[in-house]
Structure 1
Amino acid sequence: MEDLSAYNPEGSDLRSMQLRMLEMLGYLDEVCLRNNIKYWMGAGTLLGAVRHQGFIPWDDDLDIEMTRTDYKKLIRILLKEKSGRYVLQTPLTDWNYVFPLAKLRDTGSRVTELRNAGKNYRYRGIYIDIFYLDRGNTFLARLTVNLQKFIWVLSLVKNDPLGILPALRFALRFVLHDIIFQFLRLCARLFGIRTLILPYGTGFTAFRDLKEIFPLQRISFEGRYFNAPADTDAYLKRLYGDYMKLPDRDKREIHTIKKEML
């Protein structure tokens, strides 16, 4: 069995980052339980919980998922909560943030991401991605990826002599998210689609099945217990195939290149 402890030894920058995210997850878990919001660990975070009983040793992000209804409820609550330690990042709280999903950011740290993604963001601390799921179709999801990528590229441009880019980003985001995506979601409801996908425009097209998610269960993650889908095996096989097999060393991705604890 390969020794993976070299990736995140105690006291390392990566391990410190993981422990900070664990604290943030504990905060979100408490808020969700208190307000009857059904979230679950998703994607690589769930994979880590099942395969490693915690973080994937080289992983430097954390994902939770929920339905759109619970997501809206959580966003309303987090905007009112004044924890002092964390801040909610959305296009409403950070003008340069163009991703259609919220992040909970730590105010006591700063990260620099690969390809300098997010260099113009107002908030740049360690974060948890908060994903919501809609009923939808993976084919349509793929069609919307390039539109969202174009808006993201505009957010990286600094040379704007006419000062029109902020308004252009806002207009494109409005048309895409409030008209096109709303129409696609309506079609999914009308046709009774039971598969769940991440929002149109995020670039994620793998789907989840409702019967694999509910009822939620509590499983161990870093010595604590958090929500997980009912059928973790089916969920992880759908996303990763043979998920208990470790990826090759050159496939073990890290998203950030610099971490600072302030």
Structure 2
Amino acid sequence: MIELDILKEVDRICRRHHIEYFLDAGTALGAVRHGGFIPWDDDIDIGMLRRDYERFLSVARTELGSEYFLQNYQTDGAPIMFSKVHRNDTTFVEFRLRNLPIAKGVFIDIFPYDYLPADEAAAWAHIKHCADLYRKFQYRLIKDRTLRPDGSLGWYAKALLRRITHWAHLRYDPAKLVAQMDQAFEAYPESPLVTCHSYGGGYLFRVQDMLPAKPMTFEGENFLGPNDPHAFLSELYGDYMTLPPKHQRTGHGPYRLAVGLDDEDSLDY
């Protein structure tokens, strides 16, 4: 599995430089509930506190092998405020990003977590403010819906609305929005509360539930996971051990997928 190989490379770099990370979101859920990948969802996410994230970005430039590419807004203009590590000899095209001139390989996500006000009411207000900025940034850079066409009038109506919203946001300078987000995301010093602003709002975590990270097995390999997986996953998913209904068991199917550089090996979805 290519994503697992990328994770091993990131884990190697983190251990060498004493950078603390943890299996995040659906990857942590998959480790706890399935012992690895969720059967219908094969992406990989890891999280880090901002200070570790910045250290990772610094060392990854020289530590990552030539077969990998570190993607974020600063490296190729990707419309994200987190990072992806791509494998260069692969193609994985997300539908909504298919027309953007950015790297499109099989990847894993690396999410930074930022401190919040210690007061929960103030923390939620700050989460909303940052989510509004991030939404504006994505509307400015992404004109297409995440979901692919299903032939329904409803889909096309929502696609048109997305285009109109994108056009309305063309007046914003992406670089200025990024500067505003950087300032807002990193506005608060160390506190007991954190969030990942790239989730778009809606989640508040306690640092003690994530760190210090502890060993977690994923697909038979040893990585690092949240300090209290139950508390962490409960905040994200509620009753996380109950499987979702079958119609909700959908993954991140690509618009186009290719492994290796030979187009004959590609698949269009």
TM-score normalised according to structure 1 size:
0.80
Equivalent residue number for residue 223 of structure 2:
226
Kept in 2, the 8 Å contact 1:111–1:256? The answer is no
- Alpha-carbon displacement from aligned partner over 1:37-66 (angstroms, at most 9, x marks no partner): 010101100000000000001113110011
Which runs of 5 or more structure 2 residues have no equivalent in the other structure? Answer: 117-122, 145-162, 164-169, 261-269
Counterparts of 1:141-220 in structure 2, within 5 Å, are 141-156=127-142, 168-174=173-179, 176-182=180-186, 185-186=187-188, 189=189, 193-199=191-197, 202-220=199-217
* Residue of structure 1 aligned with 2:235, choices 238, 250, 256: 238
Q: 1:145 to 1:213 in 2, by over 3 A?
A: closer
Kept in 2, the 8 Å contact 1:112–1:256? The answer is no
Which runs of 5 or more structure 1 residues have no equivalent in the other structure? Answer: 1-18, 160-164
- Counterpart amino acid of 1:254? G
2:229 pairs with 1:249: no
For 1:68 and 1:53, the matched residues in 2 are separated by 28
For 1:118 and 1:101, the matched residues in 2 are separated by 19
Give how far 1:68 is off: 0.7
2:107 pairs with 1:127: yes
SS in 2 for 1:133: strand
Equivalent residue number for residue 6 of structure 1:
none
For 1:21 and 1:211, the matched residues in 2 are separated by 28
* Residue of structure 1 aligned with 2:14, choices 32, 40, 50: 32
* Residue of structure 2 aligned with 1:111, choices 81, 92, 105: 92
Aligned identity (percent) is 30
For 2:239 and 2:143, the matched residues in 1 are separated by 40
SS in 2 for 1:260: strand
Q: 1:134 to 1:147 in 2, by over 3 A?
A: closer
For 1:27 and 1:261, the matched residues in 2 are separated by 18
For 1:213 and 1:181, the matched residues in 2 are separated by 19
For 1:157 and 1:231, the matched residues in 2 are separated by 38
Counterparts of 1:8-157 in structure 2, within 5 Å, are 19-95=1-77, 97-114=78-95, 116-117=96-97, 119-136=99-116, 137-156=123-142
Q: 1:173 to 1:202 in 2, by over 3 A?
A: farther
SS in 1 for 2:173: helix
The two structures, once aligned, show a CA RMSD in angstroms of 2.3
Give how far 1:234 is off: 1.4
Give how far 1:173 is off: 2.1
Give how far 1:157 is off: 5.3
For 2:91 and 2:226, the matched residues in 1 are separated by 31
TM-score normalised according to structure 2 size:
0.78
Give how far 1:145 is off: 2.1
Q: 1:91 to 1:234 in 2, by over 3 A?
A: same
Give how far 1:202 is off: 4.5
Kept in 1, the 8 Å contact 2:130–2:181? The answer is no
Kept in 1, the 8 Å contact 2:9–2:64? The answer is no
Q: Which runs of 4+ in 1 moved over 4 A?
A: none
